Structure 1
């Protein structure tokens, strides 16, 4: 396929016709700066092939701001020696025409012919997308998408395989695929995709496993039955032997002996505790007697200390008594100053109160005057408002109805004029004595009348003429005129007016009253926002407050002008200062009195304590107490020594009896008695349980159940083995067929692999690129490097994407399919060395395919050896 010429008009920035012709069959370099229209030309080619001519999802083709545009694309190309001419218009002028040699196609037929030629499809609705583009989507590279090839190959996969099938022959047959699908379908009834059982096969496997489990359970129960029989004999023998020997009675006797020995030790411990308590009491009495002795011996030292305390208390009391007159004088001065400050504060407050009342009287008089004026204005505005409301009520009319009435009147007028132009016109000019009768109406003199309906004209002395206006249009006009007349009369009646002019006058008066009402309401709200009643209430309240303020002013005495009255703030500050000074003086006086009382009390207490000690020191009883305490201390020390010796003897007796071992013996013998009795009870209980269990199992017929279950298992296992062998056979057959299909697929891949290697050897010598079953480039290897193409750098992936597309183009060309390669600003991420290799590849591919290379960097491609096409210059020449 060789594109020769394209013409676009009213498409994006190309509002005027633009022609790109003289396109070469090989490499074409088309350049221009950004926004010069390169991508628009590519979009126009895509729209010409991919978009339905009747699509409403191509607004992006419309020139900016031109809603009436009809984007148009014309393409001339050659394929297999025949000339093709395509014209497609969108939006405002939807059209598609295709001429192939002498054959012509239009609309949907033309579009289907193009899709069949290039190998793509149209969307059922909406804009065309990548999944519809097929082969062109693979070979036409949009700006910035050169590295993304996987999706394009997937969308073109069916067309590529079709081309390969036509080349390798037998692989094109679908019989192998049908057989594989049949085998896979039969296998899928028995196995999942991962080889797990399903359906009847899975059910048999579960039933087989369940039967095996039940057989094992029955075998286990039979085995347990036999074990229980053996256990029953052993238990009966042990039970009878224990009943004869009764070992728990010997353990009980040993338990009682150990308890007696432990009770003896407990009695010794009780005696020891009593003696310890007695010893503790003696030690406490000894400490008290020793303290009393030390107290009596230290009485003289205490007497000297008390004397010193008494002297110090008397000196402190004398010092406090000397400060009393000074503190009392300061208190008296502070009280006098406080009373004077309080008097000044009251006078200042009285003066300020009179000044405030005088201000209130002036303010209230002014407020009363303003309220009186506002009340008068409000009543005037209220009267204006009522007059406007009455005028609105008198002239109320529906503006929409007036508008409809005017519309109807205009329509009636237009229809009347129209009826006059098409009605039958009757004119007459009679002699003075002659007359005619038209529809029972006397006609005389001269005149003219238009007839829309069938009429009767009576000519005296001649006869009667029947006049029938002709034409369907006249009848329709007559009916429409009658309808409009009835509607106009009904609207006049509804509005209560005689004419359109009267309704307009009423509407004008109604609207004027509305404006006057709004103006009066605004004026009323400006002086009485809450209403006239609220304004009257505020006036009455202001008069009441004014009378009250005047009464209070008269009742407030005026201070003597001779007195020097300070300001209230100054008087308040002085009063607060005087109060603080008075509080300080009173606090000092209270503290002084409390201190005097405390010092006097301390002096009296010291004197009383000193006198008591002095009397006690001279008492004869003190000497007698000292002698008695000494005797008691000696007796207590002797008793303590005797108790200490007794405690040591009893401690040895308890230690030698080993009470901890005795307690362990009691626990051990008690456990032995309980264990021996419990063991015998357990034997008896187990004997009874085994007998009951054996009777129940014997009644169930366990061996008969086992035989029946084994028979069911054999039958289920045979059916399972049949399905198992079938599943394995189908799985093996499917694998063999799949391997055979893969071998055939490799035959499909061989032609494509050949073309890929051709280009790859230029870009990456000694490298290889494998193609997967879906004909997508996958594993890339170079020397010791191995990886996926998606793991390469962005620039390398862009280069690999381009050579892959050129290989697909070669493949399609060998299969006789049309090819056209379009590259929009591709290879922009290639370094200089790689770009040089890619130029060699493009020049080589251009010998087999037509390539349209669009770029905004012509300087990078000036060594391609082809004449460049400057879009900007072409646009200027066309202008």
Structure 2
């Protein structure tokens, strides 16, 4: 069997859609898409078609249903012995199965027969072959890690059956059935006492073990209660001892003394800190007084120096001011002359400008008249388009059949039609066939021959000459539910028709089309109006009013042409500009002279102010030197006083206690005193609680009960030990018998070893596999002269060996005549870059005569695998 294509409809994330791929070749086919695309969904869909009955509602089938609900449809296209077949299964809703011969277009099997046909092609007995060759995502070994015991047994039997069919019947290898009978008898005896591969107790051994466990649990509880009693006694003694230490008079006196000493030290530190603060204030005041004395001395000396300098500065400023005033008088005369000439030129230019204004007004009135005519025509068109748009919008507002309302109505109509068809399909029908003249009647109406009639619950057929035949049809929950849904669907359809204001679906569709046409007409009219009046009709009306206002201006008689007036005005303005330039230069000269006068006078005033200020600071001339000497002596005395205050502050600071340390020590002493008080209260409460618990346990007599249960436990353990010894003896016997049989099984694994050796050499040149005879699974890897247990290998190596083993099994199936595809879902996830390339080589080696399908999300990593890459097709489900 070879897979050629797959189609999924309404499966998981593909709700309401159909996704498919085809063109799967004989070698490697790689379906490589990003995460969340649905690759594992394809794998599960193939599993469901191969192994799940179409009537199944199990975990796998339930997981295929999308969140939106509905039925699941899967079509698997396969090739068997040269023929192409489409295997289709529908799950959950309208469940069914079919097999279609694609060459002839004929369904060759349905439902149960289809299930049998599928099972023959995929070797589905106990899910054997495909369970070996189809690797689900996350499976490292030959079996899923969470496989149940029954599933593990099925897969083991499939591997054993495969090896037996290739290497020969196991009876020929083990030496006869006598050994098997002895082993079975040993297994039966062992089965009376133990079960499972872990030899879990059963029967009498289980009863002994359970009795031992119950007594041990009871003893553990009693031991714990005794321990709790002893602990409580010890803790009460410790509590009382600690209370004695806390209440000891010497300890209490020590705590009080420590607290009082800490408080005294804190008060002393605070007092000394206040003295330091007062000394610091005196030091700062003396420093400020010394600074002020120095400032006054230096200020008087600087003022005496400035008196001489400012007198010379006043004489120089007075001479500069007289020279600046003379230059200002000359500049003002020249400015007055130019200003008169400019006034004459400005009067001539004003007359020409007035004349040109009259000429321009006449031209503007003419242009405004033409603009008013154009705007009036445009305004008329805009108003017409706005009226058309308003009418279309009014029709739209009066038409309730929107696209959403029509869609809801169509959905309701489809649901009514679907439920009506389902109800009709489920109805009981009778078809009369007459041989004489008598006719069967229903409600007084004779039934026509050959015409089927649907019957309802309680229908009565009148049989002439016989009587009546009453039909009491069973109405199951599903039928009642179908009627309810049909009634609800009819009500929903009527409600949708009422919302649309129509009587039929066709009328609603016509009104919806009309509404859409009106919407288009409104949008077209609005668009034309906006194109003619992009700024709005109000702006257009304002522009028309403005143009008409301009046309109302009347000309004041004939005027010269604008061009002639402009030439005369240009000459007048040239003369005016020339004179204005000369006036500007003259004004600038006057301004410059005025600025120099102002600057010279300001300099003179400033010099006089500075001289007066210097003299004011210096004071009376005959007292200046005496005052300077007095200020120098005062400054010296202030500096001496400041140095003395600084030394006093330094002496206090040097001998000061650490206020922060004293505060911290006080806080510690207070906390210690408070903690002792709280601890005493807690210990008193704890002692009362322990005393109550001790009294309770003493009344229960737990120690006597513990001794009694201990004696019973000793006896139970002896019984369990005897049965455990018997189980061990049976196990040793079984192992000895099995070892004798296993010696003859080396040839049993040779076929799979033969297929596996060349594949292993691709990864490890000298590697080999040891097999576990019972589970028929790889047990250890031999390489480099060492043997490594399979469970101790890295995840990547386990995964690689498991896949190579599956490839070997696939070749054994082919040797037996069963050609089944290998399917890998996100395999090789733990392989490094070097190993994954080697695994790609192994896959391509086997794919020369074996179909392999690989699902992966690792697009870059699997680019080197090669193979065909079919294209996914997705569309809405019909």
> So what's the TM-score if we normalise by structure 1?
0.46
* Higher radius of gyration, 1 or 2: 1
> So what's the TM-score if we normalise by structure 2?
0.46
